Structure 1
Amino acid sequence: MLLPAAPALAAEPVLVIHGGAGVIRADLDPAQERDARAALERALRAGHAVLAAGGPALDAVQAAIVVLEDDPSFNAGHGAVFTHDGYNELDAALMDGATLRAGAVAGVRRVKNPIALARAVMERSRHVMLTGAGAEAFAQEVGTELVDPAYFRTERRWKQLQKALRDEAGGQAYVDTPPAQYTGTVGAVALDRAGRLAAGTSTGGMTNKRYGRVGDAPIIGAGTYANAVCAVSGTGWGEFYIRTAAAHDICARVAYLRQPVAAAADAVINAAIPKLGGDGGAIALAADGSIALPFNTDGMHRGWIGADGVPHVAIFADETLPLPAAADAAE
């Protein structure tokens, strides 16, 4: 079955971002909340600058995610969580909806901005996903910035690992009690003036993960997906997003069932995933400019910006986030 064609002209450029579901109000002090909101606004402005200049959705997504990767408020890049063995292992993916090109990396420890390496995999290799040492060797070849692993360490994330290890030693199954471990994954979806869509996601995974665990973020169709009619970035308990092919399922519902993006996203995030025992959230954007930001946790760092350049951000579930005029979606 052929996908519906994208509209000849987009209504207006739109950028939607998230900084992770699973937010617990009691875990954020006022300074952390302030810093997170400020970072979300900076990311929105960075992506909007690309779109306002007539740039492609892919560039806007990457620009926004780089800002979030560089901010320690989120579980990506500089603020990534630690593995059981005390490392930061990073995953990311980027997808161009207009061409279905995609690039992804998983388990990298020295790449400053994993989303930039995912872009390089898409554009400068014959592959879609590279992992671990091989991905870092490719990064050296193409000039993607590498850093000392100590760059990723933050005291907040180190303390989270120590708590997880204490819980584990005391017989508590910390690793099986989300959402605390995955809070902070970042992502972006964008629609540009030419009607092109793109999606990207970046994460440090889950606190105390073992054995080279890889979640949904770098898996095309699970945590990240874009085509001509829909773009999605997920955030949540990755194993369930993989099992439901969550990001692709949302876009398939938009493309084949002609569901509004809000209904499609709700069916997957708030029905299919919880039915299996998972939780989390997502951001979704349709080619008509309508958006959806569903989540089923106490909060999700989220925001969007339209052609007027005014950023709209929210964190907690009880915050009302105004939606674009074109959107028939609801949170």
Structure 2
Amino acid sequence: MTKPFAIAIHGGAGTILRDQMTQTLKQEIVAALTQSVQAGAKILEAGGDALDAAVAAVKVMEDSAHFNAGKGSVLTHEEMVEMDASVMHGAAMDAGAVAGIRHIRNPIELARDVMRNSDHVLLIGEGAEKFAFERQYEYTEQDYFFTERRYDQLLSMKEKGLFALSESKYPDDKKYGTVGAVALDSHGNLAAATSTGGVTNKKYGRVGDTAIIGAGTFAENGNVAVSTTGMGEYFIRKTVAGDVAARMRYLKEDVHTACETVIQGELKTMGGEGGLIAVDAQGDVHFAMNSSGMYRASVDSRGELTVKIYADE
């Protein structure tokens, strides 16, 4: 008997406004989410590993200008792109992460290589890129990542002296633009992958929850895989992904209860806006958010494809 597989993805959570979302933009975002989740599902259908499926899904979003990761990353105060990413495989709870990446097209692939081909979990900045180039990664100029939309956002934030978005020109300007994927493969492996460009106008080499195992990414076979998106500093302080897994492990909560308790509980009370995606050992998928929307999609254990944007869908 074939064991079930499932995959879920997110393209960021936050304030996503219907009245500013054009039909054309919505169609483009839905198409990108669909392409992403199907890229991962194709690997799972062929009997592939959960982590490879999650990475393939995230890579599609890194290659799209619609998401704050890879090509669509926001700009730092110095008008640079600095990206973070992490992965975790649930079988042996192996993990890899990178932070402050400037010249690698797909940081999620580099995070997987850190897990598989180094003795470390987290590499940063120049050291991470040196590791990448030793593994024959292509050097990518900053021009590749530059988009007018992100430059406009940066100028707006600089004028206000902010590093978060206080008013919206685009329907998702107040969205925390992490992307991620969680997967269960037919061998029972759980895995998670998360990638981001961080926050607009960030300074001092700021790193959010995406690169932090247990905060933005977590996977444990027989339990759950989690990828988060939101206000990174809060998600680090509440170790959100690890907290969901712990509630399921020790309190025996189901994936739905654990996710909602964490996202709607103390995290929300302390001001932490955002969401997460999770899949348990049976292929049960859950999306949780305390914001007005989250770009998300899944192919569940029955093979059904779902794509949604707003919280009330």
Q: TM over 0.5: same fold?
A: yes
In 2, Cα distance between equivalents of 1:239 and 1:102: 21
- Residue of structure 2 aligned with 1:285, choices 276, 279, 285: 279
In the TM superposition, residue 14 of structure 1 has moved relative to its aligned partner by 0.1
Matches within 5 A, 1:11-30: 11-25=3-17, 26-30=19-23
Do the aligned partners of 1:13 and 1:306 also contact (CA within 8 Å) in 2?
Answer: yes
Q: Per-residue CA shift, 1:19-70, capped at 9, x if unaligned?
A: 0001421443322221111000001110011000000101100110000100
Q: Distance in 1 between matches of 2:31 and 2:70?
A: 17
- The residue that corresponds to 1:175 in the other structure is 164
Corresponding residue of 1:223: 216
Residue in 1 aligned with 2:97? 104
Contact 1:43 1:65 in 2 (8 A): yes
Higher mean displacement: 187-196 or 140-149: 140-149
1:256 correspondence with 2:250? yes
Could you tell me how far apart the structure 1 residues matched to 2:25 and 2:97 are? 30
Counterpart Cα distance in 2 of 1:10 and 1:247: 29
* Matched residue count: 307
Q: CA RMSD in A?
A: 1.7
Q: Structure 1 residue 11: deviation in Å?
A: 4.3
The alpha carbon displacement at 1:145 in A equals: 3.0
The Cα shift of 1:112 comes to: 0.3
Q: Secondary structure at the match of 1:293?
A: strand
Matched letter for residue 313 of structure 1: V
Q: Tell me, which stretches of 5 or more residues in structure 2 are unaligned?
A: none
| Contact 1:74–1:183 under 8 Å retained in 2 | no
Query: In the alignment, which residue of structure 1 is the partner of 2:236?
Result: 242
AA aligned opposite 1:190: A
Distance 1:132 1:254 in 2: 35
Summarize the Cα distance change of 1:176–1:52 in structure 2 as closer, same or farther, 3 Å threshold: closer
Decide which moves more: 287-296 or 178-187.
Answer: 178-187
Q: 2:181 aligns with which of 174, 185, 188?
A: 188
Structure 2 residue aligned with 1:55: 48
Amino acid at match of 1:183: Y
Aligned residue for 1:22, secondary structure, equals strand
**CA distance in structure 2 between the partners assigned to 1:272 and 1:110 by the alignment:** 37
Bigger shift: residues 301-310 or 249-258: 301-310
Aligned pairs (5 A) from 1:78-117: 78-117=71-110
Percent sequence identity over aligned pairs: 47
Specify the SS of the correspondent of 2:289.
Answer: coil
1:201 aligns with 2:194: yes
Aligned residue number for residue 35 of structure 2: 42
Cα distance in 1 for partners of 2:218, 2:187 equals 19
CA distance in 2, matches of 1:144, 1:23: 35
Q: 2:86·2:217 contact (CA, 8 Å) conserved in 1?
A: yes
Greater mean deviation of Cα atoms: 305-314 or 277-286: 305-314
Q: Which has the higher strand share?
A: 2
Q: Does 1:118 align with 2:111?
A: yes
Letter of the structure 2 residue corresponding to residue 24 of structure 1: I
Q: Where do 1:93-172 residues align within 5 Å?
A: 93-168=86-161
Secondary structure in structure 2 of the residue aligned to 1:206: coil
Distance in structure 2 (CA, Å) of the matches to 1:248 and 1:307? 24
**Over residues 55-104 of structure 1, what are the superposed CA-to-partner deviations in whole Å (9 max), with x where a residue is unaligned?**
01011001100001001110000000111111110000000011110000
2:266 to 268, 272, 288: 272
1:196-249 deviation line (CA, Å, top 9, x unaligned)? 100010000011111100000010000000011110000000001100110000
2:66 partner SS: coil
The question of 1:306 aligning with 2:305 is answered: no
Contact between 2:194 and 2:227, CA under 8 Å: does it hold in 1? yes
Paired amino acid for 1:197: L
Report the Cα offset of residue 298 of structure 1: 1.3
Q: What is the alpha-carbon distance in structure 1 between the residues aligned to residue 36 and residue 302 of structure 2?
A: 15
Give the TM-score taking structure 1 as reference length: 0.89
What stretches of structure 1 of length at least 5 have no aligned partner?
1-8, 320-331
Give distance in 1, aligned partners of 2:282 and 2:251: 16
Q: How does the TM-score come out when normalised to structure 2?
A: 0.94
